[in-house]
């Protein structure tokens, strides 16, 4: 067994060795960080007519999720 599988870390569960998964996670992180707080908030406010506070909180939550994902990718040396 490899060291990662013995630890039971997230990398062992998600198998970050394939290029497709690495690329997908990088694109997802970029989408959450940049498009989440802008376009999702716009859609919630104008298209779905949801309350301003709810849309701002959801945009902030998507931004934080994107930053956490970027931090995870940097920590695991997927993004150098």
Q: How many CA atoms lie within 13 A of 51 on its CB side?
A: 3
pLDDT tens sequence across 24-44:
999 999 999 999 888 988 888
For 48-60, what is the mean pLDDT? 90
Residue 69: closest CA among 25, 34, 39, 35: 25
Residues in the chain: 80
Contact, 76 vs 23, CB < 8 A?
Answer: no
pLDDT tens sequence across 59-79:
999 999 999 999 999 998 888
């Amino acid at each position: 067994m490899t060291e990662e599988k013995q630890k039971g870390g997230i990398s062992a569960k998600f198998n970050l060795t394939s290029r497709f998964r690495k690329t997908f996670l990088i694109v997802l992180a970029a989408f959450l960080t940049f498009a989440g707080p802008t376009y999702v908030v716009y859609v919630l406010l104008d298209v779905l007519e949801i309350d301003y506070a709810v849309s701002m909180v959801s945009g902030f939550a998507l931004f934080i999720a994107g930053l956490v994902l970027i931090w995870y990718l940097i920590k695991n040396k997927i993004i150098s």
